[in-house]
A and B are shown apart, each in its own frame.
Chain A
Amino acid sequence: MGESAPRKDAPAKVTGRAQFVDDLTLPEMLYGVTVRSTVARGRIQRIRFDPAFEWDECVIVRAEDIPGRNVVPLIADDQPCLAGQVVNHAEEPVLLIAHEDRHMAESARRRVKVEYERLPGVYSIDAALRADAGAPFKSYTVAKGNVEEGFRRAKWVVEGEYETGAQEQLYIEPQGVLAVASPREGVTVWGSMQCPYYVQRALAAVFGLPEEMIRVVQCETGGGFGGKEEYPSMIAAHAALLAWKSRRPVKIIYDRAEDIAATTKRHPSRTRHRTGVAPDGTLTAMEIDFTLDGGAYCTLSPVVLSRGTIHAGGPYRCDNVRISSRAVATNHPPHGAFRGFGAPQSIFAMERHMDRIAKTIGMDPAELRRRNFLRQGDTTATGQVIRERVELPALLERALAESRWEEKRRTFAVTNGNGNVRRGMGIAAFMHGAGFTGSGERHLRSQVAVEATAEGKARVLASSCEMGQGSKTVLCQIAAEALGTKLEDVEIAQPDTAEVPDSGPTVASRTSMVVGKLVESAARDLRRTLDQSGLLEGRTFSEACRELVKRRGGFKSWSRYQPPPGQWWDDDRYSGDAYGTYSWAVQVAEVAVDLVTYETSVTAFVSAQEVGRVLNPALAEGQVEGGVAQGIGLALYEKVVYDKGRVVNSQMTNYIMPAPGDLPPIRSIFLETPYEFGPGGAKGLGELPIDGPAPAILNAVEDATGAAVARIPMTPEDLLDALERTHE
């Protein structure tokens, strides 16, 4: 470990041999399509089928065809698999059609007209918070110390309000599932996904079958970023329902417009801050109010809200904190998981607010952060004692040095007087909890196995999905080190619920740290067995594995999650050790703002992070560079436009993600402090890098232009408005 071992999946990917779900076909296969609601809220009056179309060539599935429960089960079982009498958001699935010709399936979809009695909808956080709009999906209160007392000690009280928009995951491979299903054989699906066991549980409910009759296989997955956490359960149910009724295999592949319009996005948010600041710049009180737009159904909103709430106070020490938060219901398509999971929203607010405080009290923004960083022994807002050394001061110094912070700020102060380009520098400092929140990992009870194979390999069995992040390679590296053998001696199974145990969902920066630890422990067990049986004497590792299988008819060692000692969490009071550990980072953005076009470009970016021991430097850099790129998109380019609850820019031509020319060189720096309970000392990494770019960039824009923009994405039009307000 600690070496940039080449990716196990690279050869198949560079030759085009890697098999994604749309590359699979089965004999007699039909193509499935989804008829979706065209209104955000309404009662279905009637469904008209164009009489000129040959409907007997199609298989049609409606809600009443569902053999089990009409639900996509998750936290609250409120989301139907197919709408019954009412629809609660645009693009809600109403009816399914399959045809053996792809073009005819699409043609059929267009020949179904659903008529609605329209009902009034809720399309903003403000509207959802009005008294008559109903209860939120979830709310939390986190309290520590005495906020009123803290404000009394303050010299300044600084207030601010910040907003973030929806963001599309925009994995380049659209979503899709292939299914076969029958009452006798049960259901088998192959798909692009992050969480095979979520899909299994959903299908068991929809078909009323025991879980062992549901087999879920993950295909090569062309990016997920959270977008393939919960939604594949819906598509799998749809494909399987069509297969169940037709008795033929059915494949559903979304086209890009359908994928953008219908599937989940990052929750839009609004955060209000009120902060007390002492004469020396230390924070005496923080009052934070955080609201997410959950969309029409609950999906994962309670846990997204939880992570956003816990991260809302940033990596700062403050004795008096009160955070109130809620996820509200609207008639937008449900929002869901996206890398960072609520944290980028609340961290955007915190880190913009830190610059507002710095400006108010006349202190350098780096110095203000330095004075307030959490230290070893401090407690977070939830009362968690930080037991490890916090490397934030060192990360800050490295990030400032690498970005030439002082020198550039001095230079820009002079050059910004000339021409039409204004340049500026901005910082963001933050932490990200690794693994599930609170008691989440305890409830998951993840399990993995490592087996010896007849071919003489050690084989990792886990449901954790490779989706580009490099988990196949890293988990094999961890196993190889624990086994004391070469990486070539280790392989990993493709996730298939018929073959691998449930190692939990591939989310929450938990795969290397939590699942990796289980792999390490199972691999050590296998090694112990080989040692104790003397099989390694005079044999290579591979020969020893073969011999073990021959003697025992197969051998698997298992391991199950155990929480680190001393970790406590109180679900009712929302206090305690919110996460086993945190990763820490400081990022610096350098921007250029064109005062003719009002375009902002990020011209340089430094990301310094402490993620425990780095298991594979090339993969880790890839995670940072990709996360920063998505964060730059979130800050400047990626705007989801709704019209009465419908996404109107559902194409790659009008939903803009960063292209090669839109991004700066991204420099990543790792400080390594091994984490006692991570495999080889590793902590979580995947989500961390997307938390900081947006506030760092908007802080830099303010540094460059004086415009204090508090909402992302910040388009050129937004900047123009803000500059006009600034100069009024």
Chain B
Amino acid sequence: MSDQVELLLQVNGAARRVEAWPLERLLDVLRHGLGLKGTKEGCGEGECGSCVVIMDGKLVVSCLVPALEADGSSITTIEGLGGEAGLDSMQQAFVDEGAAQCGFCTPGMIMAANALCQGGRTMDHASIREGLAGNLCRCTGYMKILAAVRKAGGARP
């Protein structure tokens, strides 16, 4: 087996060094290497979207990104939202609309919803459904998630 490599990442605004196997998944680097457990693994094959994070401004399924490919990148995870001030507007909308049930898909859903709403676009339900096509939720039937995304999306500058 090859040796571990040292990666340098910007994670939620802070520079982090972490050891990883070259073909280890970004998901494992985040959860095991950095202890950021908010990013979830639901399927391990890029289908459910529970593990999505923002990498260099783009939404990625972290279970399909090899660690080496993430070296030098800037990453935002669910832990990077809101901060001391409280919840960001999407997180607050998920609370207000009852869009989180079991909560396992929720971090990924919120990351994807935030990426979708960048630039403050107001969207109808059809375009939100299309925009969240990569994120599966088994609890809600998506109705309350759509309501939350619409509310937060509309509230953005």
Contacts and interface: CB of A to CB of B under 8 A. Distances in A.
Given A6-B96, A16-B38, A660-B142, A653 B102 contact: no
B42 A622 contact: no
A665 B126 CA distance: 10
Interface stretch (A73-81, A168-176, A280-288, A435-443): A168-176
Contacts, number: 167
Interface string A250-270: 000001100000000000000
Contacts of B77: 16
A223 B95 contact: no
B19 interface: no
A16 B79 contact: yes
B64 to A, nearest CB: 12
A429 interface: no
A20 interface: yes
B38 A15 contact: yes
B98 A172 contact: no
Interface residues of A, number: 55
B133 A222 contact: no
B43 A256 contact: yes
Interface in A312-341: none
Contact of B102 (A172, A174, A627): A172
A622 B107 contact: no
Contacts of A468: 101-103, 139
A630 B138 contact: yes
Contacts of B146: 660
A660 B138 contact: no
A666 B140 CA distance: 11
Contacts of B21: 103
B98 A625 contact: no
A651 B91 CA distance: 30
B16 interface: no
Nearest to A19: B37
Interface in B32-86: 37-45, 47-48, 50, 77-79, 81-82
Contacts of A11: 87, 95
Contact of B101 (A255, A622, A665, A666): A622
B149 to A, nearest CB: 10
Contact of A256 (B42, B104, B125): B42
Contacts of B50: 172
A661 B104 contact: no
Nearest to B128: A660
A666 B107 CA distance: 24
Interface string A35-62: 0000000000000000000000000000
B65 to A, nearest CB: 17
B138 A14 contact: no
A629 interface: yes
A467 interface: yes
Contacts of B3: none
A651 B47 contact: yes
A141 B101 CA distance: 39
Interface string A184-206: 00000000000000000000000
Given A6-B96, A660-B142, A661-B133, A14 B87 contact: yes
3 nearest A-B residue pairs (beta carbon): A16-B38, A222-B104, A468-B102
21 contacts: A14-B107, A16-B37, A16-B78, A16-B79, A103-B21, A173-B104, A174-B42, A222-B40, A222-B102, A223-B139, A256-B42, A256-B43, A256-B45, A651-B43, A651-B45, A660-B129, A660-B137, A660-B142, A660-B145, A663-B129, A665-B125
Interface of B: 21, 37-45, 47-48, 50, 77-79, 81-82, 87, 91-92, 94-98, 100-107, 110, 125, 128-130, 132-133, 135-146
Given A14-B95, A622-B144, A660-B135, 13 more contacts: A7-B98, A14-B103, A15-B82, A16-B39, A16-B106, A172-B42, A172-B48, A618-B98, A625-B142, A626-B140, A629-B138, A629-B140, A665-B143
